[in-house]
Amino acid sequence: MTEESLVATAQRLQPQLLSHFMNLITDNRLAHAYLFNGADGTGRQQLATVIAMRLFCPNVDENGLPCGHCPECQRIQAGDHPDVVSVVPDGQRIKVDQVRYLKSEFTKSAVEGNQKIFIVDQVDRMTTGAANSLLKFIEEPVGNTVALLLTANKNLILPTILSRTQVVDFLRVAPGALADSLAAAGIVPSQRYLLATLTESVQAAKALTAEDWLKTAQLSVGQWFSAACAGDERAFVRVQTELVPLGSNRDLQGTILDMVVQVWHDVLRQQNASVSDDQLAFPQVAQVSRQMAQHLSIDRLVNIMTLTLETRSQLAGNMNFQGILEALTLQILAQIPR
């Protein structure tokens, strides 16, 4: 089985957006700044790279697509083209030296022609100062340049940047297609629904299941949930002993918070409908979540869901991960009828 080409991947994931941008380039109507908003696995990186290829490819096919094989396309895919400037976070943040590099490149003309393109992935991981530097470029572009800013969450982007870019929302991957892809990747049935709520990327799903991280996290969050539902204050202790050690970096901490949202969402979904175990994010605690669906009033459950959904913005605001979970646990315990 041959590996799918970058162009084919973009065509499969976002056919309408791909066609739209190829037409914009053909008609010379490409704007100078876009914000691509799409979850991992929706093709935002692939589309950005194909746009860059199309701008430089000398062998565009009859459908207006870059060939993918010429030296220009190959250099862009390899990250070796001097007029295609790409930046991705170095660790958890886009760092100061990367921002200096970007600012330096903003002031330079194209090396091999009259066109230059900037691709900044996970732009939400820029500091406010770095984002303001980027804003200056967007407001005062130099020469024939295009900036493609990529994010999985536009709500984390400065409003000033949102207002000065054309925001492009990517369509989500069809759940059925994602489930089939996860099954083909060897993901066990008890983890497929949960993974489909956490990511749209099979590669990211595999990374989460490596070394049984997801299995351990699913078990630990389920046990924390069961204790909280029982009004057991040992749920508070489980935060420090079981959940916090799993969050070894900011990304994993965010994933754990997303899992906490999903275990309570299982309860919400079962309040008015029967849901089979294979359609639950946490099938191993299905009996507990069904009991809570009957036991909690809709008002209490909505309060709990609201509390869990707020944890992500708290983490983005640099609140302490353990503190977020401990406060959430106490607030949930207060909602559980004794």
Q: Dump pLDDT digits (tens) for 215-230.
A: 999 999 999 999 999 9
**pLDDT, the chain, mean:** 89
Record the tokens describing residue 324, joined without a space.
């977020």
What is the C-alpha separation between 201 and 195, in angstroms, rounded? Answer: 9
pLDDT (0 to 100) of residue 112: 86
Residue 171's Cα: distance from chain center in Å?
A: 13
The model's confidence at residue 205, banded by pLDDT at 50, 70 and 90, is confident
Q: Which residues pair with 35 in a beta bridge?
A: 149, 167
User: Alpha carbon of 262 to those of 40, 47, 202: distances in Å?
Assistant: 18, 30, 19
pLDDT (0 to 100) of residue 177: 67
Record the tokens describing residue 9, joined without a space.
């991947």
Number of neighbouring beta carbons within 10 Å of residue 279: 13
Region label for 144, one of left (φ > 0), alpha (ψ between -120 and 50) or beta (otherwise): beta
Q: 123 pLDDT exceeds 80?
A: yes
pLDDT (0 to 100) of residue 273: 84
Q: 92 pLDDT exceeds 70?
A: no
Determine phi and psi for 80, rounding to 5 degrees. Answer: -115, 10
**pTM for the complete prediction?**
0.64
What is the C-alpha separation between 296 and 324, in angstroms, rounded? Answer: 23
What is the C-alpha separation between 229 and 285, in angstroms, rounded? Answer: 11
Place of tokens 């994933």: 255
Contact between 191 and 214 (Cβ < 8 Å): yes
Record the tokens describing residue 30, joined without a space.
């490409």
What is the C-alpha separation between 48 and 149, in angstroms, rounded? Answer: 9
Q: Region 321-329: what's the mean pLDDT?
A: 96
* pLDDT above 90: percentage of residues in the chain: 56
Q: 36 pLDDT exceeds 70?
A: yes
Q: What is the DSSP letter of 170?
A: P
Record the tokens describing residue 3, joined without a space.
């590996």
The model's confidence at residue 2, banded by pLDDT at 50, 70 and 90, is very low
- 101-105, 300-304, 314-318: which is most confident: 300-304
Number of neighbouring beta carbons within 10 Å of residue 209: 18
What is the C-alpha separation between 165 and 101, in angstroms, rounded? Answer: 21
Q: Of 95, 34, 109, 40, nearest to 255 (Cα)?
A: 40
Q: Region 275-295: what's the mean pLDDT?
A: 93
Q: 139 pLDDT exceeds 90?
A: no
pLDDT (0 to 100) of residue 53: 96
The model's confidence at residue 1, banded by pLDDT at 50, 70 and 90, is very low
Contact between 152 and 38 (Cβ < 8 Å): yes
The model's confidence at residue 84, banded by pLDDT at 50, 70 and 90, is very high
Count Cα atoms within 13 angstroms, Cβ side, for 272: 3
- 35-39, 42-46, 224-228: which is most confident: 224-228
Q: 234 pLDDT exceeds 90?
A: yes
Over residues 145-165, the pLDDT tens digits come to 899 999 988 877 888 888 889
pLDDT (0 to 100) of residue 89: 79
Q: Which domains does the chain have, with CATH numbers?
A: 6-169 (3.40.50.300), 175-335 (1.20.272.10)
Lowest mean pLDDT among 2-6, 194-198, 199-203: 2-6
Higher pLDDT, 67 or 181: 67
